[in-house]
Amino acid sequence: MLQTARAFLRAAWVATVVIGVAQAQSVPDRVSNVEKASAEIAAIQAKNGADGAFAAINECYKREVARATTSLTRELEACMAQDIIISKVSAAFYAQLSARLPPEARKKGGSPDPEVIMKAMTQRVLGTFSRFKVREPEATAFGQIVETKGMEAYGRARFPGQYPAKKD
Report pLDDT digits (tens) over 110-153.
Answer: 788 899 999 999 999 999 999 999 999 999 999 999 999 999 99
Does 166 map to a domain?
A: no
In which domain, by residue range, is 129 found? 7-158
**Is there a contact between 50 and 94 (Cβ–Cβ < 8 Å)?**
no
- CB contact at 8 A, 38 and 153: yes
Asked if residue 113 belongs to a domain, the reply is yes
Q: How far is 55 from 165, CA to CA, in rounded Å?
A: 29
Specify the DSSP class assigned to residue 165: P
What are the distances in angstroms from CA 153 to CA 40, 70, 129, 145? Answer: 9, 29, 23, 11
pLDDT of the residue at 25: 34
In a domain, 167, yes or no: no
Identify whether 145 is part of a domain.
yes
Q: Does 164 map to a domain?
A: no
CA of 44: how far to CAs of 22, 114, 162, in Å? 32, 21, 19
The pLDDT value recorded for residue 104 is 78
Cα 78 to Cα 21: distance, rounded to the nearest angstrom: 22
In a domain, 168, yes or no: no
Is the pLDDT confidence value at 54 over 90? Answer: yes
Q: Give a yes or no: residue 111 inside a domain.
A: yes
Using CA atoms, how far apart are residues 41 and 33, in angstroms rounded to an integer? 12
Number of independent structural domains in the chain: 1
**Whole-number average pLDDT of the chain:** 84
Reported pTM: 0.80
Greater model confidence, 102 or 8? 102
Instruction: Give residue 99's pLDDT.
Output: 79
Q: Is residue 81 part of a domain?
A: yes
- CA 142/CA 149 separation, integer angstroms: 10
